[in-house]
Amino acid sequence: MTTSDFGHLTVTFQPQNVTSQAVDGNLTEPEGELTADGIIVPVIWALLVITGTIGNGIVIYILSRYGERTVTNIYVINLAFSDLTFIVIVLPITAIHFVIPTYMFGEALCRISIYLIYVTLHATCLTLMAMTIDRYFAIVFPIQSMNWRNAPVATIVSVAVWIVSCLISLPYVLFTKLIEENDVSVCTQKWPIEGMAKGMALGVVITSYILPLGVILGCYGKILQYLWWGSKLKKTDHDSNGAPMSLKSKAQQNRKRRVTRMVLVVVLLFAACWLPIHVITLWMAFDPNFPLIDPLLIFKIFSHTLSYANSCVNPFVYAFLNDGFRKAFKRRFPSFSRWCSCLCRNTKECQETSMIDKAVEAKPGLEQSELLTTTQTLKRTCT
């Protein structure tokens, strides 16, 4: 019999067979040959490592080398770096440890890997919160926020996000230990105060999920309220003075809407992917009689897999919804320009904005009527 620690945000048990029983409050698994769950789960995680590494690596490379230094792009790079750090360092160790009964990487890597789970989790949610706040000011207060909505400020905010994330997660590097238990090494937390495990579990859920999502929901509520009342007060094809909106202004408005939509999609994916693991974390922390039965063990593995998958899906969101990423991608890979255009062709406003941008790039000095003619010509050639 091998006894393993049943962690919270970490999968530090080795269900070579998911059929398990509780002995003295710990999770135990029967010895035997490696079964299907001990093979399939690590294979799925390995695929997530490959997909996430390639996807986030491409995002960082393309936007840092060929993208414009916009506020959104800086936050996207920061988010991709957080996902890449988690995928490259944490997930491979977790996948190996899932199969091998004992922790074989030493105490230093034990502390670092657990620490990085919480650092990257907080960095991700705080970056999403910063992106949403930026969207709020860009839409509700576009003129007033022009002086500080810039690349240097976004860079400072990104650095601050990592500093705060590192400080919040310090207890996990200080109190994570590699201990010997029933002839196996277990990477786990040994808290100095009784009941501290509950406080830490609740604190992580609040600081990395409830609080950021509360701010995000508040910002999007204000954005929706502003857009709703704005559409009531004026037509969308007119500016604030009632004059017809120029094609350039319309393109800028469409671009703002799509960036806001992209951020919302990324936030919703984060909320959905991390909700199950946070629920089971709190359940385990506050219920000393947590039932270690097959359905819950399988659900916990599924919850971890879902949270890991969140670090892999964002690059696909950027490819479909982020104009800045598509433009930078086309600069680096011109042969893929038609493929990138197809990603944008699904929505009318996206196609219109793309055509206007192409017209402006081709002839920067065009008047409104000439710009409209050129745009219509480009539309016919691309359909």
Residue-wise pLDDT for 120-149, tens only, equals: 999 999 999 999 999 999 988 988 888 889
Residue 365 has pLDDT above 60, yes or no: no
Look at residue 221 and tell me whether its pLDDT is greater than 70: yes
Strand boundaries in the chain, DSSP class E: 2-4, 21-23, 26-29, 176-181, 184-189
Quick one: tokens of 135? Answer: 């969207």
**Average pLDDT score over residue span 205-218:** 94
In this predicted structure, the answer to whether residue 243 has a pLDDT above a threshold of 60 is no
Q: What is the mean pLDDT of the chain?
A: 77
Amino acid at site 124: T
Q: How far apart are CA 316 and CA 302, in angstroms?
A: 21
CA 90 to chain centre: 15
Query: At which residue do the structure tokens 């508040």 appear?
Result: 218
Checking if the pLDDT of 349 tops 80, the result is no
Please, what is the angle between helix 91-99 and helix 294-321, to 10°? 150
Single-letter amino acid, residue 160: A
- Are 197 and 147 in contact, with CB atoms under 8 Å apart? no
- Report pLDDT for 318: 83
What's residue 255's pLDDT?
Answer: 67
Given a cut of 70, is residue 5 above it in pLDDT? Answer: no
Q: Nearest to residue 300, comparing CAs of 5, 4, 8, 25?
A: 8
pLDDT at 214: 95
DSSP classification of residue 180: E
Contacts of 200-203 with C-beta under 8 Å, sequence gap 24+, read: 200/171, 200/172, 201/8, 201/281, 201/282, 201/284, 201/285, 201/286, 202/282, 202/285
Tell me which residue of 169, 274, 166, 148 sits closest to 212, measured CA to CA: 274
pTM of the model: 0.77
Q: What is the DSSP string of 68-129?
A: ---HHHHHHHHHHHHHHHIIIIIHHHHHHHHHSSS--SHHHHHHHHHHHHHHHHHHHHHHHH
The domains of the chain, with CATH numbers, are 2-323 (1.20.1070.10)
